[in-house]
Amino acid sequence: MPSLANALMETRFELPGQTSFYRGKVRDVYTVGGLLVMVASDRISAFDHVLPRAIPYKGQVLNQIATHFLRATADICPNWMQDSPDPNVTVGHACTPYKVEMVIRGYLAGHAWREYKAGKRTLCGVPMPEGMKENDPFPEPIITPATKAEEGHDEDISREAIIAQGLVPESEYRRLEAYTRALFQRGTEMAAEQGLILVDTKYEFGQRDGEIYLIDEIHTPDSSRYFYAEGYEQRQAQGERQKQLSKEFVREWLMEYGFQGKDGQKMPVMPDDFVERVSDRYIELYERVTGRAFQRADASQIENRIQRNIEHYLSNQ
């Protein structure tokens, strides 16, 4: 059973040579020279809000899944990662991020289904066929980009609007689309090997020295949705809910308690037993997605461990 007291809510390091610090929804990001030191905390977000309780081992799961897939896709697209000196940490190149997230969907699920159910038949300017049911596959994956919000909700945006607003030059946007499709295909193949279906995901890209890099995390439960392949078709045929590995069940729990991130809604606090279930689900996802047994890092003094490993790595650069 995870120790709820040892979950990492945040870090406040002052690293040698540190020039800036940024706290995202889940990651604490330190800039040291031309390097980014990205610490995956155990914070969990849903509906673009950080929840009040941290999830033990979630940061380790996210970081190690991301490093697994960054290494496995480096032949498709250059990525920012150089090394992972701690189970919760990735160090890599500082890139200038594009102001859009590349969301790609193979199935009608989550946000796309909520829009479809509301009667919409286009998403980000991309048509969605009539007659689809929740969790049906699209004829081919669709790219539905979102603008990256500093605060609050990311917003859907069309390819045409991205180019018209100058968020990304057209020639570069075409490359982002090509990378997105190739990465999703690789992720789909790797998921299938583990008996999973990669339903949808998002990628973030940046520039460094005039070259496009894949940045941030990929194919983690925070950025992706997975279904179990076994029984998928039977469940669809019978109109049953799909068995999935993602944090959608956290969103569903919040919605049960009347929270969808909207103004005036009070965020519920997860009880201990639900926090433990969430932790177990993240660990299960790690093992299913990677095909490896999860090795719990010593979390008894997690902040000290992380800082020690970062400083040791930096001192050898």
Q: Give me the tens of pLDDT residue by residue for the chain, a chain 317 residues long.
A: 456 768 999 999 999 999 999 999 899 999 999 999 999 999 999 888 899 999 999 999 999 999 999 999 999 999 999 999 999 999 999 999 999 999 999 999 999 999 999 999 999 999 999 999 999 999 999 999 999 766 556 799 999 999 999 999 999 999 999 999 999 999 999 999 999 999 999 999 999 999 999 999 999 888 899 999 999 999 999 999 999 887 878 988 999 999 998 989 999 999 999 999 999 988 988 999 999 999 999 999 999 999 999 999 999 98
How many folded domains does the chain comprise?
Answer: 2
Name the token pair of 261: 């991130």
112 and 218 part of one domain: yes
Q: In angstroms, rounded to a whole number, what is the distance separating the alpha carbons of residues 267 and 255?
A: 10
Name the token pair of 61: 């799961």
CA-CA distances (angstroms) from residue 55 to 275, 279, 296? 6, 6, 13
Beta bridge partners of 10: none
Residue 263, in any domain of the structure: no
77 and 109 part of one domain: no
CB 34 within 8 A of CB 94: yes
160 and 214 part of one domain: yes
Q: In angstroms, rounded to a whole number, what is the distance separating the alpha carbons of residues 172 and 54?
A: 38
Residue 252, in any domain of the structure: no
What is the pLDDT, as a whole number, of residue 152?
A: 54
CB 41 within 8 A of CB 9: yes
234 and 119 part of one domain: yes
Angle between helices 272-290 and 58-72 (to 10 degrees): 20
SS3 135: coil
Q: In angstroms, rounded to a whole number, what is the distance separating the alpha carbons of residues 310 and 308?
A: 6
182 and 152 part of one domain: yes
128 and 80 part of one domain: no
Bridge-based pairing state of the strands 224-228 and 45-46: unpaired
42 and 149 part of one domain: no
The C-alpha angle with vertex 250 and arms to 247 and 253, in degrees rounded to 5, equals 155
Domain housing 143? 97-245
What is the pLDDT, as a whole number, of residue 222?
A: 80
What is the pLDDT, as a whole number, of residue 151?
A: 57
Give the chain's end-to-end CA distance (angstroms, integer): 37
Q: Compute the chain's Rg from CA coordinates.
A: 19
Tell me the residue length of the chain.
317
Residue 40, in any domain of the structure: yes
Residue 71, in any domain of the structure: yes
In this structure, what are the phi and psi dihedrals at residue 301, rounded to the nearest 5 degrees? -135, 65
Number of other CB atoms surrounding residue 228 within 10 Å:
16
110 and 236 part of one domain: yes
What is the pLDDT, as a whole number, of residue 317?
A: 85
CB 58 within 8 A of CB 279: yes
116 and 205 part of one domain: yes
CB 41 within 8 A of CB 11: yes
14 and 80 part of one domain: yes
Q: In angstroms, rounded to a whole number, what is the distance separating the alpha carbons of residues 247 and 222?
A: 7
What is the pLDDT, as a whole number, of residue 149?
A: 65
Residue 304, in any domain of the structure: yes
What is the pLDDT, as a whole number, of residue 284?
A: 87
178 secondary structure, DSSP code: H
36 and 141 part of one domain: no
- CATH code for position 236: 3.30.470.20
What is the pLDDT, as a whole number, of residue 221?
A: 80
Amino acid in position 292: R
- CATH code for position 16: 3.30.200.20
Residue 256, in any domain of the structure: no
Residue 200, in any domain of the structure: yes
CA-CA distances (angstroms) from residue 298 to 6, 7, 301, 305? 10, 11, 7, 8
CB 63 within 8 A of CB 88: yes
Q: In angstroms, rounded to a whole number, what is the distance separating the alpha carbons of residues 28 and 45?
A: 14
Residue 172, in any domain of the structure: yes
57 and 40 part of one domain: yes
